[in-house]
Each structure stands twice: as C-alpha cells, then as structure tokens.
Amino acid sequence: MKKRTTSLLLVGILMLTLAKTGNACTNYLITKGASADGSVMISYAADSHVLYGELYHWPAGEWPEGTMMDVYEWDTGKWLGKIKQARKTYNVVGNMNENQVAIGETTYGGRSELHHQPQAIVDYGSLIYIALQRSTSARDAIKIMTELVAEYGYYSEGESFSVSDKNEAWILEMIGKGEYELGAVWVARRIPDGYVSGHANQARITTFPLANGKTSITSKHIDKIFNPEVECIYAADVISFAKENGFYEGPDKEFSFSDVYAPVDFGGARFCEIRVWTMFNKVKEGMGQYWEYVKGHIQHPVPAKKGEPLRPENFASNRMPLWVKPDHKITLHEMMNFMRDHLENTELDMSKDVGAGPFGLPYRWRPLTWEVDSVRYCNERATTTQQTGFSFIAQSRGWLPDGIGGIIWWGVDDASGTVYMPMYTSITTIPYNFRVGNGDMMEWSETSGFWIFNQVQNFAYTRYNMIHPEIDSVQQKLEKEFIAFTPAVDEAAKTLMEKDKALAVAYLTDYSNGIGEKVFKTWKNLYAYLFMKYMDGNVKTKRETPEGYKYVTPNLKQPGYSKNYYRQIATQTGDKLKVIGDGH
C-alpha cells in the first residue's frame, strides 16, 4: 500500500515527519532454482490501517468486441474512467490467476512532481488486477501493464511490482510522468534463476543493461519480451525523460532508476530496505556488511546539490544488491515465516526495549516517528505489522497443469498471527468467511475471518509473550498439515482433470472452501479458549473434578510482571509504592 515521499531529497526532520508513515508493503521473490521444490514463489503483505482483508475473485469471461470496462482507484474507490475490455479474461483469486501468474506490489512514492496525472485512468491496483485477468505469463503481464499506462496514463505514485509465473520472477519498477505528459517510465528485470530478491517500499533497480537487441530491449520492441533470452526491458525514454527534465546528468550506462526517480533516504533504508535485509540475512551469509546501510547510514561519494540534476557520484554507494544467491533452497513454510519477522536477533529487536512493555510486545503503535524536546525519533517498521489487511505467498508449480499448479496461500491480518490457507487459483467461489462483502472496515460481521483474526491478535497484544506462543502453535500446526496434504489434493485433482476439467475445478473449489471454513472455526474456538484462560491478568487452566465434588474451580496463576519490569517500576516510583513495616 501507500508510502509517501514529498521531494527529491528527503533528509533530516522533513523526511522523518512525512515519509513512510506506516502504510507499506513487503514482497519477497524466490525463483524456481532457489526453491526447495522447484516452484516459483512471491509474497506480499497489503499493509494499511484502513484496508479490510478479503479474498478477491474475478471469474473467467468472454466479452463482445467493443466492450468497455470501468476503472476505479483501488485505494479509494474513485471512478477514474473507462478502458477497452479484453475479449477473453481469466479466473483470478486474490493476486493470482488460473495461469499461475501472480502480482504483488510496494509503493515507494518517488519524486513528488511525478505523482498523479489528473487525466490518467489506470492506478497501480487496477493495473494489477486487470493484468491478472488478461495475462498468460509474467512477460505477458508486464507487456499488458506497460501498454495500459502508455495508452491510458498512470494515476498513482512510484510503484514496484513483483510479477511471477511457473517459470520466472520479475521486478517491474514504474513511476508516472506527472503533468509533463501522459504515461510512465519504468524498468523490468528478471531475477536470475537460483536467486532471491525483495522490495519493500523503496525502489531497488539501480543501473541496468542497456538495449542490445538480445538480452535487453526497450519498449519500442516490446513484442520481443517473449524471447526467453530477454532479461531486461525498459521504457524507451526512461533515461531521456530524466535528462530532459533536469533530473539526471551523466552517461546513460551509469543511469540508476532508483537513485534518480526515488533516491534512498534514512526512511527508505531504515523503514523499507531493512525488511528486504531480514530475508536476505536468513538465507545468505555475509549480509551483515549492509547492516549500517539498512539502519539508515547512507553513503554518498558526493552529496547532491538542491535544484541541480543528479550525477552518478551523487548516488548512494553502499546499497544492497537487487538479488542474492541463497545458501540453501527455500521451502514454502520458510517463505511463510519470512513474513513474520520483528527484527528478532538484531539490536533493533522490538521485543527487547522499553517500548515492548512488560510482556515483550514487538509492535509500536503509530505514528512511526515522534518527537521529544525537539528531537525526532522513530519506531521500527518490521516485516510483520499490526496494520496488515491481508498477505499471501503465491506458489506457481510448473510440473502441474494450470488450474492445479497455482496456489495462493492467503491469510488476513498481522502475518505473525495469521494462517496461510491454500486457495487453488481455478476455484469458482471464495470461502464465505473471507468473501468480499462479508463485513468491511466499519461494519462488524460475526462470520468475518478478518474480524476473528483481529480479535485474537489484538488480545495477544495485551500479553504477547504469554498468548502469542499459543497462537503460533495452532498456526504452525495447521500450515504444516495443509502443506503435507497438498500432494494428495494435487493428485486427486489431476486424476479428475484427465477426465473432466470441470470436475477437477469443483473438487478444488470444495477443498479450498472447506479449508477456509475450518480455519475460521478454529480461530473462533481459539479466541474463546484464550479469552477464558487469560482474562483479568490471570492464567486459568482446567482441573479434574475430584470424586465427591459437584464442581471445582480452575487452577489459577497470577504471574504479574517480570523481575526486570518490577525493577523499572521501583526505580521510577521511588518510595511511593514501598510497603512500610511488616507489609500487612
């Protein structure tokens, strides 16, 4: 979701005040050569304090020639205009279609003068879901997305997209041309097989190979994107537009998309790049060399001068690479757990400082930055965060036919407390408890998965180190069961598909809907259990009723606070709470 930057060089107090105010998203990308089972995976967390988590669905369709479709801005619901409908559209479940194409995003903002085009029709969210309805591969999706903004304009701020299919994973970074002209400038790069990548609200493509007619091409030859040798494609004017408008001065070969259109600042590193680093650090030795960078210590050989075009010597010199080769193959469950990081095992672990309170809470309530005695401070912005509407891991499996191979492992609310449920991307109905229209951000529904997960997780926030381990236990058990059972479901669906595709789709629809119902009921029961056990600061457990008793009260513990927290209280209050005499 959205992160805002307001000028070319956001530094110091202005940057801390305005940038990255808490609405943000995290994407990780795993190529098939880097995954344990040979699947391609991307993850996405849609993080916004006002986004209601529900599982979107667009059924496949065929449309008469000349059909027009309405476009509404995804964030606000504002009608933007009409565009031509495709003759054929594909089934879409969440952010993945029946052809195993998946798309995620992170907003990085970038240069404020290139934000919304008043005459543009297509915003970043609509771009995702329109492309998913129309595309058969990641390359096809990139072609569709870039052609749409060229024809209809780009309504949003700077955006990074993860685009994947059963063979490849790409990063597409785009920013509009503001009021200069209709359209956008962009660069798309394929992640080399065997490598992993990520992006989290900071543009990450720096320099890129210039067009050579073989592995790198411009949008003038967009149809060549389907050549498997092509690994980079970019808008033909991505460099010239920057030069003509005074954003960049220097050799084309040294042009950096990120450093020119969205220069990294303290917030871009500390609140955004650090989330990429946490995943890289789990899979690759030596990532400690970038720790100072992700804490916000950015090195520039020559500082930029306000109002002057940027030159290569002004670019950040200590940035992380766009991708790394992991030291081991990444499993699906690892990918799920990457999304649950709170900066554990680092000096910035949010469960360790005074802000964690007496129960080790690894969250900080917004705003993200704050002030004491005219000095600005910040909270950490970890991968897992309280304001997540929904998140997913999209898994594309090329050894299975389309309709079976694509699974979006989808969950609502804070990733630390969610359950990633397998939703096959050919299904024709969505589980009722997670369906669009079952409640919204200001309408309570007793049958809403979003609301029950928020009930459980918000209760856990009150005594995190006691309650969350119980949630984690149920979550991990369910996810491991779903993963273990998947091959059997695949085989059953494959057998059915060989006879009748409609039967296979009906089977997968029933299975996915059953998973949604099971998870919802489990979480309903979990909330009741946790509330009874932990209410009023106590910890109660059942005990057997002895013979001869009508009933028996539960075991009761009153753990209070930790010794360290009691010491803090005693230090801060002095003699105020001291017991005098014998204490009676």
In a domain, 502, yes or no: no
H or E element, residue 128: helix 124-134
CB half-sphere exposure, 130, CA atoms < 13 A: 29
Q: At a CB cut-off of 8 Å and minimum separation 6, what does 210 contact? A: 216, 252, 253
Identify the domain containing residue 266 by its residue range.
12-378
568 assigned to some structural domain: no
Residue 2 above 60 pLDDT?
Answer: no
Model pLDDT, residue 14: 32
- Parallel, antiparallel, or unpaired for β 216-218 and 232-234? parallel
Element containing residue 451 per DSSP (H, E)? helix 449-462
pLDDT of residue 202: 98
Mean of the per-residue pLDDT values for the chain?
Answer: 94
pLDDT in tens, 155-187: 999 999 999 999 999 999 999 999 999 999 999
Stated as kind and residue range, the H or E segment containing 43 is strand 40-47
* Assigned domain for 492 exists: no
Residue 476 vs residue 2, higher pLDDT: 476
**Distance (Å, whole) CA 459 – CA 529:** 12
Query: Is the Cβ–Cβ distance between 52 and 1 less than 8 Å?
Result: no
Instruction: Give the residue-averaged pLDDT of 302-306.
Output: 94
Q: Say if residue 356's pLDDT is above 90.
A: yes
Give the separation between CA 423 and CA 406, rounded to whole angstroms.
9
User: Tens of pLDDT along 463-504?
Assistant: 999 999 999 999 999 999 999 999 999 999 999 999 999 999
Are 121 and 80 spatial neighbours (Cβ–Cβ below 8 Å)?
yes
pLDDT over 80 at 19, yes or no: no
Which segments of 153-287 are extended strands (E)? 158-164, 169-176, 184-190, 196-199, 216-218, 232-234
Examine residue 472 and state whether it is found in any structural domain, yes or no.
no
pLDDT score, position 21:
36
Q: Is residue 326 part of a domain?
A: yes
The 3-state secondary structure of 94-127, one letter per residue: CCEECCCCEEEEEEEECCHHHCCCCCCCECHHHH
pLDDT tens column, 374-417: 999 999 999 999 999 999 999 999 999 999 999 999 999 999 99
Q: What is the largest CA-CA distance in the chain?
A: 91
How far apart, in whole angstroms, are the C-alpha atoms of residue 176 and residue 245?
A: 13
| Cis-peptide into 326, omega within 30 deg | no
pLDDT in tens, 124-151: 999 999 999 999 999 999 999 999 999 9
- Return the pLDDT at 286: 97
The residue count of the chain comes to 584
CB neighbour class for 318 (10 Å; exposed up to 12, middle 13-18, buried from 19):
middle
- pLDDT of 23 > 80? The answer is no
Whole-prediction pTM value? 0.94
- In the chain, the number of structural domains is 1
**Residue 121 falls within a domain, yes or no?**
yes
Amino acid at site 579? V
Supply the Cα-derived Rg of the chain in whole angstroms: 25
Contact 410, 55 (CB under 8 A): yes
Whether residue 195 is contained in a domain is answered as: yes
Does the pLDDT at position 237 exceed 70? yes
Please report where in the chains the tokens 């320099």 appear, as a residue. 207
Q: Mapping DSSP to helix (H, G, I), strand (E, B) and coil, where does residue 558 land?
A: coil
Residue 443 confidence class, pLDDT cut points 50, 70, 90: very high
Decide if 386 is inside a domain. no
